[in-house]
Chain A
Amino acid sequence: MQASSFDQFTGTETYIVSPDLRDTVNVAIALQRPLLVKGEPGTGKTLLAHNIARALGKPLLVWNIKSTTKAKDGLYVYDTVQRLNDARFGDGDVSDIKRYIRLGCLGQAFTADEQVVLLIDEIDKADIEFPNDLLNELDEMNFYILETDERIVAQQRPIVIITSNAEKELPDAFLRRCVFHYIAFPERDLMAEIVHVHHPRLEDDLLGQALERFYELRKVEALRKKPSTSELIDWLQALVAGGISAEQLATALPFLGVLLKKESDVEVMLKKGAADQRRLTRMGS
């Protein structure tokens, strides 16, 4: 491997990465290890995989994990019900088990002709043992189909991106094999860049003021769900559409519902707003 091949991923025109995330992605690709990404909701964990695929021009496979997902589902599923149905009602060739083996996302990633990006989204949703069940397959990049006595070996090791919301602890053995990155909430400067990608013609005054208010809002301890990047982008859209000026924004928080998605949070802010207003009037008088 040459040093020059490290910097494969540099973000895309719509997805701004911080340099440390970019480096970590490239390390994971070069070392051929799964990249585990954690972080607050709305920091672009899932989007990262989409954009790695886009930047590298590789197909993306998404495996969404639910609480009922089993590790084996990602490898293959033996569709016994279909086979039973065929056996009873005489459709198709029941003797060929191969026809009833459906490859899961991992299986598809292994058998693909070209290298793919495989996103295992929200791995923490599954059972606690789930990651451990995948260890071997991710390590050796092959698995065995019992029913057909066949071994599926990866043509090319897929680039594996795993996201987690940290609801459950992941097992140590699993963690040791991953490259890990925690996406911190973007600092102001980085956020300005991210916003710029989505609203290239936004006035600097308005953006400055909006960011000011946005980060203020995130500091309010009483909020149960802090607004994230996607809410900020929607909010800016609303501000522009509503013709709100930077001056107006200094004294009021219009379209609060776009930023805060919980009713109780909106109430908190309205109360706080009223209290601030009273204090201002008192100071003025």
Chain B
Amino acid sequence: MFLDFFYTLRRHKIPVALTEWRVLMQALSLGFAHSSLARFYTLARSLLVKDVGYYDAYDLAFKETFHGITTPEEILDEIVAWLQDPYTLEHLTPEQLALLQQFDLEALRELFAQRLREQKERHDRGNRMIGTGGTSPFGHNGKHSKGIRVGGEGGQHSAVQVAEERHYENYRRDRTLDIRQIQMALKKLRNLQRLGAEEELDLEETIDQTCRNGGEIELIFCPPRKNNAKVLLLMDAGGSMMPYTTLVEGLFSAAHKATHFKDFQYYYFHNCIYEQLYSDMRMNKKVSTSSLLHILDADYKVILVGDAYMAPEELIDPGGALYYYHHNDTPGMTWLHRIQEHFRVCIWLNPLPAGQWNRTTIHLVRQVFPMYELTLDGLERGIKQLARKVA
């Protein structure tokens, strides 16, 4: 069961590495969590979870794994049982196994067994203590904050209870995002290069060369660093996108405010991209898609935002455009392909959760563009894709 905790954490998408797991074992073998489950809760979290965004997932995983457990001794029992059962190690890959073996399981087992013996003795006394006062096992200074601690009765289930209270739910990363978070994500699109004339004094190099020159001053110049990233944002302003207006606006204003792009262009489309794009949300000002493809270089990084959810004919058939005073001779799908072929990197951000992406048109669009959820997590992964250096 103890190893289950590791896998449960991984299942909740917390990136726990085996090296961190080893550190936890080390800490446990030194007797850190001996006095309470609440302490184990804090200890494991501080060593395994390095981002408050995962605290909520940790709470869930903790609750799931330890809901029946009331004392830390039970956890230690579990660990010893786990260590004594060679079969439990079978789930591990050879590399992981090698890592664990480095750690000297034998010595660890020894330590735990010893610890457990001490625990058992201490436990008796501990019980008495708990019995009389209802004080928590480590409540010597009586400074109870709700964050970790010990409720009215008993004490030991507090850790699971605290986990159940889910204090960190609002910090989850898979929640949709605010503008600042988007800005931070977009910052990663930087592409700093030294460009243009050599007009900046390179102090380091000057000093270095001067020293090498035996003190005769040698001035070295270099071109200034400029951000070379160019971004094209294409947004679906169709009816089915209405619920996500705030979200898309957030993305837009973050990108618009970002001062670090060399160029930022944005256009709107309606459900799917056809001959024309619109430079305003109400779709009054038209821009021809093919001329845009002509004007913009291939090195623009393209972010498409939309639910990609439409009637199949809107995507596949000529004349399928839903927009009533618009007739398209070329099917939307062809336009999507043209965009994908013209630009080196494109991503599609979808406000619909990935669970719904098996719908026909979304599925088709995904075959053209790599698709990411419009959440902090998805955006970051998408930006990573965009920021890739493309030869």
What is the CB-to-nearest-CB distance from A78 to chain B, in angstroms, rounded to a whole number? 10
With a cutoff of 8 Å between Cβ atoms, the chain B residues found around residue A190 in the complex are 143, 145, 147
Asked if B211 and A80 sit within 8 Å, CB to CB, the answer is yes
Binds A, one of B38-46, B229-237, B259-267, B292-300: B38-46
Q: Chain A contacts of B184 at CB under 8 A? A: 167-168
Taking the complex as formed, is A81 at the interface, i.e. its CB lies under 8 A from any CB of chain B?
A: yes
Contact for B210 among A10, A28, A84, A181, CB less than 8 A: A84
Known: A1-B30, A84-B215, A87-B215. A19 touches B145 (CB 8 A): yes
Q: Are B47 and A179 in contact (CB under 8 A)?
A: yes
Interface members, chain A 171-195 (any B CB < 8 Å): 172, 175-176, 178-182, 184, 186-187, 189-190, 193
Q: Is B309 an interface residue (CB 8 A)?
A: no
Q: Does B313 contact A (CB under 8 A)?
A: no
Contact of B32 among A6, A18, A87 (CB under 8 A): A6
Query: Do the beta carbons of A27 and B20 come within 8 Å of each other?
Result: no
The complex places the Cα of A179 from the Cα of B167 at a distance, in Å, of 20
B23 is an interface residue with CB less than 8 A from chain A: yes
Q: Is A88 an interface residue (CB 8 A)?
A: yes
- Does A159 interact with chain B (Cβ within 8 Å)? no
**Does any Cβ of B come within 8 Å of A24's Cβ?**
yes
Residue of A nearest to B203 (CB): A81
Task: Determine whether the beta carbon of A84 is less than 8 Å from that of B207.
Answer: yes
Q: Does B146 contact A (CB under 8 A)?
A: yes
Q: Which of A6, A20, A81, A87 lies in contact with B148, CB distance below 8 A?
A: A20
Q: Please provide the chain B residues from 116 to 162 with a CB less than 8 Å away from any CB of chain A in the complex.
A: 138, 141, 143-149
A187–B52 touching, CB < 8 Å: no
Whether the pair A184, B147 counts as a contact (CB closer than 8 A) is yes
Q: How far is the CA of A18 from the CA of B46 in the complex (A)?
A: 14
Q: Which residue of the partner chain B has the closest CB to A170?
A: B50
A181-B215 CB under 8 A given contacts A27-B32, A31-B23, A38-B52: no
- Complex Cα–Cα for A28 and B52 (A): 18
**Does A226 count as interface, using CB distance less than 8 angstroms?**
no
Residues B17 and A176 in contact, CB atoms below 8 Å apart: yes
* CB contact under 8 A between A189 and B50, given known A27-B32, A30-B32, A80-B211: no
Contact between B49 and A180, CB atoms less than 8 A apart: yes
**Bound Cα distance A182, B56 (Å):** 12
> Given known contacts A23-B42, A176-B19, is B145 in contact with A187 (CB within 8 Å)?
yes
Interface residue? B34 (CB, 8 A): yes
1/0 contact trace for A82-112 toward B, CB 8 Å?
Answer: 0110011000000000000000000000000
Enumerate B19-65 residues with CB–CB distance to A below 8 Å: 19-20, 23, 26-27, 30-32, 34, 39, 42-43, 46-47, 49-52, 55
Indicate if B208 sits at the interface (CB-CB under 8 A): yes
Is the pair A23, B50 in contact by a Cβ cutoff of 8 Å? no
Whether B15 sits at the interface, judged by CB under 8 Å, is yes
Nearest-neighbour CB distance to chain B for A1, whole angstroms, equals 6
Q: A18-B147, A18-B148 are in contact. Are A80 and B167 (CB under 8 A)?
A: no
Q: A2 to B145, alpha carbons, bound, how many Å?
A: 27
| Shortest Cβ distance from residue A125 to the other chain B in the assembled complex, whole angstroms | 13
Pair A189/B208 contact, Cβ less than 8 Å: no
CA of A265 to CA of B30 in the docked complex: distance in angstroms? 50
The answer to the question of A36 belonging to the interface, with a C-beta cut-off of 8 Å to chain B, is yes
The answer to whether A24 and B147 have CB atoms under 8 Å apart is no
Q: Say whether B207 contacts A81, CB under 8 Å.
A: yes
Q: Could you say which residues of chain A place their CB within 8 Å of the CB of B51?
A: 175, 180
| Cα(A271)–Cα(B171), bound, Å | 30
In the complex, A33 Cα to B32 Cα: how many Å?
15
User: CA A1 – CA B111 in complex, angstroms?
Assistant: 12
Q: With A and B bound together, what is the CA distance between A33 and B148 in angstroms? A: 22
Q: Could you tell me the distance in whole angstroms from the C-beta of B259 to the nearest C-beta in chain A?
A: 15
Q: Which of B19, B27, B47, B49 has the most CB of A within 10 A?
A: B47
Are A20 and B147 in contact, CB atoms less than 8 angstroms apart? yes
> B190 to nearest A CB, angstroms?
9
Chain A residues with CB under 8 Å of B42's CB are 19-20, 23-24
Known interface pairs A84-B211, A168-B184, A176-B50; A16-B43 also in contact (CB < 8 Å)? no
Taking CB atoms, residues of chain A closer than 8 Å to B208 are: 80
Give the residue name and chain of the B residue nearest to A86 (CB).
B215
**Interface status of A3 (Cβ within 8 A of chain B):** yes
Q: Enumerate chain A residues within 8 angstroms of B215, measured Cβ to Cβ.
A: 84, 87-88
| B145, A27: Cβ atoms closer than 8 Å | no
- Residues of A21-50 at the interface with B, using a CB-CB cut-off of 8 Å, are 23-24, 27-28, 30-31, 33, 36, 38
Residues of A with Cβ closer than 8 Å to B?
1, 3, 6, 10, 16, 18-20, 23-24, 27-28, 30-31, 33, 36, 38, 80-81, 83-84, 87-88, 167-168, 170, 172, 175-176, 178-182, 184, 186-187, 189-190, 193
For the complex of A and B, the 10 pairs showing the least CB-CB separation, nearest first, are A175-B50, A182-B52, A20-B148, A190-B145, A20-B42, A24-B46, A180-B50, A18-B145, A3-B31, A80-B207
Q: Which residues of B contact A (CB under 8 A)?
A: 15, 17, 19-20, 23, 26-27, 30-32, 34, 39, 42-43, 46-47, 49-52, 55, 138, 141, 143-149, 167-168, 171, 184, 207-208, 210-211, 215
Known: A18-B148, A19-B149, A30-B32. 15 other contacts (CB 8 A): A3-B34, A16-B143, A18-B143, A19-B145, A20-B42, A20-B148, A23-B39, A27-B46, A31-B23, A81-B207, A83-B211, A87-B215, A181-B46, A184-B147, A184-B168
